[in-house]
Structure 1
Amino acid sequence: MNSLYLPLLAGIISTIFAFVMLRRTLGFSQGNDRMKELSKYVQEGASAFLEEEARKIFLVAVILAAVLGIIFQSFKYPIVLLFGALVSEAAGVIGMYAATRANARVAAGAESGLSSAFKVAFSSGSVMGLAVAGFSLTGLALVMLVFKSSFVFEGITDISKAFGRISYIDGVMIVSSYSLGASLIALFDRVGGGMYTKAADMSADLVGKIEEHIEEDDPRNPATIADNVGDNVGDVAGLGADILESYVASIVSAIVLAIFMKFADHGTMTETQYYGLILLPVLIAGAGVLSSLIGVLVVANLKSKDARKSLSFGNLFTGGLVLASVAIVIGIAAPDYPFKDAFLINPEFVSRWRLFFAIASGLIAGVIISKLSEYYTSDDYKPTR
């Protein structure tokens, strides 16, 4: 379990650089007084909405944690659930803080050209990305280290009972509670913020353009400010929490699967194989975080004036780093475990390198989808023209 200090370190580094990129973003010019005034309205509105929403979420989270504690008669799971919720909310708040303070700075940068605007936008956007990865990975590693007794090899097959009827495994409940806390925040922030921004957007269009004949996004229309507030709450804080929840759930699901494999293996899985399987998803995530961090720093310091080319290069460069780092992690940490198919026809149908090929195929598919989306939506290409 001491291997968890490596992804913990990766998460901490990512979190530190999120604040570094935030400081860099705040160093750009805010523009003229009118830009500052309108930006302040959006900042105040977004903060007010998120604070009010956080109060409601906190109440629901506490009630849910209390129910969890009563059912399973343990303080561990409620604490982990609330910690997961706190991590998710914190990442969303920091990302939204950066976004609402970057909007005027991006507009001011655009007066000097697209390249200047891109630098500000990329710096502020990377705050959300690095915070999501850093906070979630740090939190998960901390939870597994604090409650590492729940993952010991000898006791992982112990089945506990809640109210004499509900069967559960302690280690599974620990990581699932963390994931549930993150999911709770994503549900409220994404859906609540999304409904708010759509309502405000429609109001701005219907009342402003149709009834009062004001141009779209005219600041004289109060609903325009509300629309911008909603964009930040729903599409930054909400989407950030949503991504964090998916990121955590994908790692946790692999850990849970490994634990149940040990449970169903009837004593043939060795201790080394067991720890290798439950730690591999976290180690791969740590390698991915560090690769992404390097990619962010490279793109942020590119001298190119073409924003599209910079992003495209960053996508491919980071993808290559991820493949290389994952190959190293799998080569060192993945156990030689003979995965068995359901019918025992081919008892060793998966090797450690087939795990790498699965990851590589997913990454390549993501790059292809990205390129196809760009081709059919960018005015640089024929279909959109």
Structure 2
Amino acid sequence: MSRTLAAEGGGLSLTDTNLTFVIVAAVIALVALGFAAALVKAVLAAGKGTDNMQEIAGAVQEGASAYLFRQFKTLGIFVVLAVVLLFLLPVHDTDGNETLVKVGRSAFFVVGALFSAFIGGAGMALATRANLRVAAAARASEGGREAAMQIAFRTGGVVGFLTVGLGLFGAALVVLMYKGDAPTVLEGFGFGAALLAMFMRVGGGIFTKAADVGADLVGKVEQGIPEDDPRNAATIADNVGDNVGDCAGMAADLFESYAVTLVAALILGRAAFGEDGLVFPLIVSGIGVLIAIVGVFITRLRASDRNGLVAINRAFYASAGIAAILVAIAAWTYLPSDFSEFGNGVADLDGNPRVIAIGAVVIGIVLAAAIQALTGYFTETTRRPVRDIGKTSETGPATVILAGISVGLESAVYSALLIAAGVFGAFLLGGGSITLSLFAVALAGTGLLTTVGVIVAMDTFGPISDNAQGIAEMSGDIDEQGARTLTELDAVGNTTKAITKGIAIATAVLAATALFGSYTDTIRTALSDAGVADPVDYLQDALNVANPKNLVGLIIGAAVVFLFSGLAINAVSRSAGAVVMEVRRQFREHPGIMDRTERPEYGRVVDICTRDAQRELMTPGLLAILAPIAVGFGLGAGALASYLAGAIGTGVLMAVFLANSGGAWDNAKKLVEDGAHGGKGSDAHAATVIGDTVGDPFKDTAGPAINPLIKVMNLVSLLIAPAVVAWTVGNDENDPLRIAIALVATAIVVAAVMFSKRKPIAMGDGPGADSGKAGSGSPDHEPETVNA
């Protein structure tokens, strides 16, 4: 096979052999979708349990579907605006096909957004049906823990197959259609996936944690009733929230991680390896599809296993090992042994492309395994950090919170160092070539995500197990062994959710680092177009962090992560306050709820959470999109690069801190509920419930949302980079327009934040407020409010 780039109008075409590889990758992606359909059929064939179970599950399905439909209607406005802006932004190196590439970039933005929405929606729809079947299967007469775990994990496997199938199919389709211009079109595909994922993560996270916090504070702490007691008006909303946040939101999040990492690898691959660089990441991702299929089907709980996590870890590490072997074989077979065969500007480099590719992918696979082990250590109930938090519960909630924050801060350091080591190790493989080093970083991300099918299954396993326990407890139709099984699976699910959040954060950093390299390459091209004599020297000077403008950009980038996190947590606090007041009102005004002679009004709490989630997600979304625009047009391309560096560095630490502290608090509560330190109903239990309540918005709203935030900001910066350079380099006549854009973007962000801070918390309903009566929170009866 000829390794020389074929010219086609000055562009890049594919050899017949490489074209075949891309088609094979697309076919493998379709195979994954076929396996997803087969698993759906298998899951739905399982028993549905008692009539009570089915009634409760039906209410959860209805609430989750209604919320997601309303959210998609809201997000449609952003999609339309983004399509228009993408078409207006300039593109480069299209060899006379500028309009066609612009149309493709906008069209595949919509495709990426639709894929992200579909994966989230389909995953949630199946999860709301699988939770019922897991609860039924957990009963001793129906198979016990082995059967229950198999249903839960295979349901997650469906979402995993959809993730790898649609992600690989979308990328392969772009390469087939646009060939050399594929990287530019893929920017739109990745941006669509990332934007939808961020909104779904924030909105779903606000919904689920507002309901969860409200249910815990009133039910467990004030009324002393179990977590999923049907007398608590927030229980249905809590179970709905698990699905819209942890299923729909996280599924979309992991899909965009997969898509954006693949996009970064393809963009840099073309620059480093020519057409082979466009094809090899698709080959690696095709192997990842096969690994997903193997990993899901070998995850089986043995009778000798201590808990479900043993089985999951065994399958994950086996999948990772198989992936490393298959990628090594593929690289050795496909890539040349010498750079001279590429003939695209890297011909004079020393080293073996095969070794570099294998090393980069293996670094990613090892990083995934290391993150899994490290996160598991800090969040598993059997490990010292969680047990130490459990011990502090004997001295009250304050020490529980302090211990959890300490665990989160410490774990963030080790996780950040692990990720940094992975990035630096991949960078060193480049042997002095920045382009090649950044491609190695992108390949590390692609390697990490060869196991993404299993990772997504692990994540979806968590909320399904949580919901199954809730349905069993609310229905009362569960035997003692089944209850123990569901409690065990729920605790395992807490750990798997924490692990997948850690891995998603690692992919965000790898993808962001690679996209950062794409950004600087785009700036270099734009400088040449602007007539700068020596764009490389100009760029090095522009990126100097000693420049005060750049230092300001770095500080702003770090500050945006803090502001974004604060907005998300505050949104949960406000909405949870309304839920607390509503649940208290129902207990007070309907005393028959406690003796089970009256039925709680579940729909009112679902309405509160739905309304608040929609109105609260706009401000964080606007911040993520407009802050890079304000910095880029206001301070220039160098300051925007520093902004991204600040956001990446702060984001990885903040995200791991929030995710792991929340996960540790949650499992410390599970530890006490299993009988440690006085068990349920004790003062220690109340203390861990408060710790878990603080951790809920940490681990399921703010922390995970930082992952798509980082990539959205990187992609926005990449898209606006040509315009930023064109309007800021030696062209003073554009200054008024440039400054106007920066000021308008800043004004919108400031107005959105001020509006968010002035939003009220529902506290009373008129004259009865003084006597402690809470508002209904229903959408057709807005309660009297006080400002937050």
TM-score band (shorter)? 0.7 to 0.9
Answering whether residue 138 of structure 2 is matched by residue 137 of structure 1, we say: no
> Bigger CA drift: 175-184 or 288-297?
288-297
> Which residue is 2:353 aligned to?
351
> Which residue is 2:54 aligned to?
36
Q: For residues 172-206 of structure 1, give each alpha carbon's deviation from its aligned partner in whole angstroms, at most 9, with x where no partner exists.
A: 32011110111111011111101111111112123
Tell me how far apart the structure 2 counterparts of residues 380 and 118 of structure 1 sit (CA, whole Å). 20
Contact in 1 for aligned 2:271/2:277 (Cα 8 Å): no
Answering whether residue 111 of structure 2 is matched by residue 83 of structure 1, we say: yes
Answering whether residue 183 of structure 2 is matched by residue 172 of structure 1, we say: yes
Contact in 2 for aligned 1:277/1:335 (Cα 8 Å): no
- Structure 2's unaligned 5+ residue stretches are 1-18, 91-98, 341-345, 388-788
> Bigger CA drift: 235-244 or 370-379?
370-379
Q: For residues 22-63 of structure 1, give each alpha carbon's deviation from its aligned partner in whole angstroms, at most 9, with x where no partner exists.
A: 111111111111111111111111111111111122221122
Contact in 1 for aligned 2:113/2:196 (Cα 8 Å): yes
Contact in 1 for aligned 2:108/2:185 (Cα 8 Å): yes
- When normalised by structure 1's length, the TM-score is 0.84
Equivalent AA in structure 2 for residue 34 of structure 1: N
Over 3 Å counting, the alpha-carbon distance change for 1:5 and 1:312 in structure 2 is: same
Size of the aligned set, in residue pairs, is 349
> Which residue is 1:162 aligned to?
none
Contact in 2 for aligned 1:288/1:326 (Cα 8 Å): no
1:374 Cα deviation from its structure 2 partner = 3.4
Aligned match for 1:185, one of 196, 201, 204: 196
Equivalent AA in structure 2 for residue 284 of structure 1: V
| Percent of matched pairs sharing the same residue | 36
SS of the equivalent of 1:222 reads: coil
Q: Structure 2 matches for 1:12-31, cutoff 5 A?
A: 12-31=30-49
1:145 Cα deviation from its structure 2 partner = 1.4
Tell me how far apart the structure 2 counterparts of residues 173 and 370 of structure 1 sit (CA, whole Å). 33
> Which residue is 1:229 aligned to?
240
Tell me how far apart the structure 2 counterparts of residues 219 and 322 of structure 1 sit (CA, whole Å). 45
> Which residue is 1:333 aligned to?
334
Equivalent AA in structure 2 for residue 293 of structure 1: I
Equivalent AA in structure 1 for residue 162 of structure 2: A
1:210 Cα deviation from its structure 2 partner = 4.4
SS of the equivalent of 1:31 reads: coil
SS of the equivalent of 1:251 reads: helix
Equivalent AA in structure 2 for residue 312 of structure 1: N
> Which residue is 1:118 aligned to?
149
Aligned match for 2:373, one of 367, 371, 374: 371
> Which residue is 2:314 aligned to?
313
Answering whether residue 111 of structure 2 is matched by residue 100 of structure 1, we say: no
Contact in 2 for aligned 1:133/1:289 (Cα 8 Å): yes
1:379 Cα deviation from its structure 2 partner = 4.2
Over 3 Å counting, the alpha-carbon distance change for 1:134 and 1:104 in structure 2 is: same
> Which residue is 1:287 aligned to?
287
**Greater C-alpha Rg:** 2
Over 3 Å counting, the alpha-carbon distance change for 1:246 and 1:335 in structure 2 is: farther
> Which residue is 2:268 aligned to?
257
Aligned-residue CA RMSD in angstroms? Answer: 2.4
Contact in 2 for aligned 1:77/1:173 (Cα 8 Å): yes
> Which residue is 1:322 aligned to?
323
Tell me how far apart the structure 1 counterparts of residues 162 and 355 of structure 2 sit (CA, whole Å). 31
- When normalised by structure 2's length, the TM-score is 0.42
Tell me how far apart the structure 2 counterparts of residues 215 and 126 of structure 1 sit (CA, whole Å). 31
1:229 Cα deviation from its structure 2 partner = 0.9
1:211 Cα deviation from its structure 2 partner = 4.8
Tell me how far apart the structure 1 counterparts of residues 219 and 366 of structure 2 sit (CA, whole Å). 44
Aligned match for 2:73, one of 52, 55, 66: 55
Q: For residues 51-102 of structure 1, give each alpha carbon's deviation from its aligned partner in whole angstroms, at most 9, with x where no partner exists.
A: 1111122221122102222334542221111011111111111111111111
Equivalent AA in structure 2 for residue 47 of structure 1: S
Equivalent AA in structure 2 for residue 351 of structure 1: P
Tell me how far apart the structure 2 counterparts of residues 174 and 293 of structure 1 sit (CA, whole Å). 29
> Bigger CA drift: 64-73 or 128-137?
64-73
> Which residue is 1:161 aligned to?
none
1:348 Cα deviation from its structure 2 partner = 1.2
Equivalent AA in structure 2 for residue 76 of structure 1: G
Over 3 Å counting, the alpha-carbon distance change for 1:289 and 1:60 in structure 2 is: same
1:371 Cα deviation from its structure 2 partner = 3.0
Tell me how far apart the structure 1 counterparts of residues 368 and 73 of structure 2 sit (CA, whole Å). 37
Answering whether residue 208 of structure 2 is matched by residue 208 of structure 1, we say: no
Over 3 Å counting, the alpha-carbon distance change for 1:304 and 1:135 in structure 2 is: farther
Tell me how far apart the structure 1 counterparts of residues 89 and 373 of structure 2 sit (CA, whole Å). 48
Aligned match for 1:194, one of 192, 197, 205: 205
Tell me how far apart the structure 1 counterparts of residues 375 and 282 of structure 2 sit (CA, whole Å). 30
Contact in 1 for aligned 2:25/2:283 (Cα 8 Å): yes
- Structure 1's unaligned 5+ residue stretches are 152-169, 262-272
SS of the equivalent of 1:221 reads: coil
Contact in 2 for aligned 1:85/1:184 (Cα 8 Å): yes
Over 3 Å counting, the alpha-carbon distance change for 1:337 and 1:93 in structure 2 is: farther
1:284 Cα deviation from its structure 2 partner = 0.4
SS of the equivalent of 1:299 reads: coil
Contact in 2 for aligned 1:105/1:120 (Cα 8 Å): yes
Tell me how far apart the structure 2 counterparts of residues 382 and 350 of structure 1 sit (CA, whole Å). 44
Equivalent AA in structure 2 for residue 64 of structure 1: A
1:349 Cα deviation from its structure 2 partner = 4.3
Q: Structure 2 matches for 1:145-164, cutoff 5 A?
A: 145-148=176-179, 151=180
1:119 Cα deviation from its structure 2 partner = 1.1
SS of the equivalent of 1:327 reads: helix
> Which residue is 1:64 aligned to?
82
Contact in 1 for aligned 2:336/2:353 (Cα 8 Å): no
Equivalent AA in structure 2 for residue 200 of structure 1: A
Tell me how far apart the structure 2 counterparts of residues 21 and 383 of structure 1 sit (CA, whole Å). 37
> Bigger CA drift: 320-329 or 216-225?
216-225
Tell me how far apart the structure 1 counterparts of residues 85 and 239 of structure 2 sit (CA, whole Å). 37
SS of the equivalent of 2:299 reads: helix
> Bigger CA drift: 20-29 or 70-79?
70-79
Tell me how far apart the structure 1 counterparts of residues 363 and 24 of structure 2 sit (CA, whole Å). 25
Over 3 Å counting, the alpha-carbon distance change for 1:335 and 1:244 in structure 2 is: farther
SS of the equivalent of 2:298 reads: helix
SS of the equivalent of 1:235 reads: helix
1:207 Cα deviation from its structure 2 partner = 3.4
